Chains A and B, each alone.
Chain A
Amino acid sequence: MSYSGTLRSQYRQSGGAAIDNTATRSAFDPTPARVVLFTDIDRQQWGMVTDWAHPSHYTAIEVGDGGTDNSSGSHVAVAQTFVFNLVLPPRVTACSVGAVMSGALNVKITSAVDTVGIELEGQFSPGSAGHDNPDSAGTVWATGVSAQSPLPLSARALKVAATDSVARTQIQPLTVTVKRTDVTATNAGSGGVLWGLIFRWVRQPLNTYNAGADTADSLSV
């Protein structure tokens, strides 16, 4: 399944207004059935499939790192790993991820279609006094285009779907790994807390449908 027609900017990217706060329409006789009424519907539909109906999302998490192996003289950070269910909007293949963190943390996120993943690292009030304090938290972003290498892990978006032609909401499990970065062989460090993740969908122009050449997304109902 794929689309290969003309590229079209997403709804909000092209200045679309809030669909939920538009006025209703009434077509009384004699209203000519002009194409502009029809293309208006098409534009609203485009917004409901693309960026308007499926905005970016923030999830508060509050997860600490996995500590160290406590081998005195040879401390090594231990990873705290968990799965996060990402609700993936229609026609999205990548997202920029922001990690809200305090202390000294490294956060790595992978998906089934991006096993290399992205890596976010930051230090906000590291140390025993501030590592577990939401007031000292800051945000680290991994952004960029969705292509994998050669961009460094911290400078690109996370790929979350193989194709942008799935016009339905999907679940994409992500694996999130958190570990401290203020550890040395002789100092176990204090680590930090991951307070939340921001998923900002990459909204590039999308292909329209090319009749006769494309296979449309379909669903049995």
Chain B
Amino acid sequence: MPTITYKPLDLVGVIPGQQMSATPDMMAVVGGNDRWLNTTCAPLLFSTSLMSVTGAATALQVGASTNASSGSPGELARWMVRGNTIRSPITVSVWALVNNAGTTGTLTVSHGGATVTQAVTATTATAFDIAITPTSGTAPLELLISGHTDDSNYVVLVAACARYAPTDRDDGGTGADGYAPLGDQFTGSVSSMTRQNKPVPTEWLARGWNNMRALARDRVACLATLCHPMGSATARANSWVTISASASTLGRLFVDGADNLARSGVLSVYVYAGAGTTGKLVVMVGGGHQYELTISASGWQHQTIDLPATPVTITMYGIRSTGSNEISLMTAQVFRVVT
């Protein structure tokens, strides 16, 4: 197995107009950094703490919990993952427990046509890394964690976060994400185009630029995450649930300036609508832009929003329009969106 490295060079003293001839050391290093980034660039996909305790803690309130049977697992929490057209593996890091010794709980992670399970037997929150690789579907794709137990006790998902797993590719053409390897600088291959004293093809220089653009467009960072336990869609009135015809605050997200100029972003929300109930989700970005989403059924919606260069608070208000059940905001995430 080759070992790749990251060497950020000091380019002070490099003359911009100088024309390169034979491959200098620094070009091999930049080629290596390109491979490093393709392998390791893993921005945050989502980060959540599912605790919803507002009083004394009990096992059932320290996260998203279920005692569903294996035949019909209970949904615990869900998020959206954007990009990843190359279908790189994702590492989901969770903290979980069961509320009674002797119980075996199972977490099931579902994403892009793939499912992976994780057994949980500890009665105190324990960390697990769960790897999942999507096999089908077009981004954005949902990542759902559900659970079940082998008895009447509960499995509890306390917290979860996700990022891409390191995945190396040093050869081959342009991938679905637009990235094309620059060559192999680490295994001593004499055929590598970035070995010392090889000719400098200008296409290599364009490819190196386009590669970073491709990674930036396909490895989309999540700027803010709000996620409530799926089993609490009718709980916590006056928090993320409303039955009011007047606007009620269902959630707030804080977005730090993501770029040096204002740009477009996308707000992805999962809203719950009780049986026979419809409503609206009004989104205020700072004190200016306002967007209105119609809620006719439970599910995901995506709204392009304007993100300023400065920090901004996004407030989401729920309104029940018809019916007698709840309108709830279960998940909300903000991402950059490419134009």
Q: Which residues of A contact B (CB under 8 A)?
A: 3, 5-6, 8, 12, 15-22, 24-29, 31-42, 44-49, 52-64, 66-67, 80, 82-87, 89-90, 98, 100, 132-135, 137, 139, 167-169, 171, 173, 193, 195-196, 198, 200, 206, 208-211, 214, 216-221
Docked Cα-Cα span, A108 to B205, in Å, equals: 48
Contact B205 A38 (CB under 8 A): yes
| Set of chain B residues within 8 Å of A56, measured between Cβ atoms | 223, 256
- Asked if B51 and A25 make an inter-chain contact with CB atoms under 8 angstroms apart, the answer reads no
Say whether, besides A42-B9, A87-B47, A169-B43, A35 and B227 are in contact (CB < 8 Å): no
**Contact string, B101-132, partner A, CB cutoff 8 A, digits 1/0?**
00000000000000000000000010100000
Contact string against A for B residues 1-14, beta-carbon threshold 8 Å, 1 for contact and 0 otherwise = 11111111111101
Cβ contact within 8 Å between B206 and A47? no
Quick one: closest A residue to B51, CB to CB? A63
* Interface residues contributed by chain B, number (CB under 8 Å): 98
Given contacts A34-B17, A38-B30, A209-B10, 5 further A-B contacts (CB under 8 A): A35-B14, A60-B225, A87-B163, A89-B43, A169-B43
Number of A-B contacts (CB under 8 A): 287
Within the complex, which residue of A27, A57, A66, A89 is in contact with B206, where a contact is CB–CB below 8 Å? A27
Q: Contact: A218 with B5, CB < 8 Å?
A: yes
B225 and A58 form a contact (CB under 8 A): yes
B258 at the interface (CB under 8 A from A): yes
A167, B36: Cβ atoms closer than 8 Å: yes
Cβ of B48 within 8 Å of any chain A Cβ, yes or no, is yes
For B239, what are the chain A residues with a Cβ–Cβ distance below 8 Å? 62, 134
Stretch at the interface among B210-218, B271-279, B298-306: B210-218
A29-B227 Cα distance, complex, nearest whole Å: 52
Residues of B with C-beta under 8 A to A193: 54
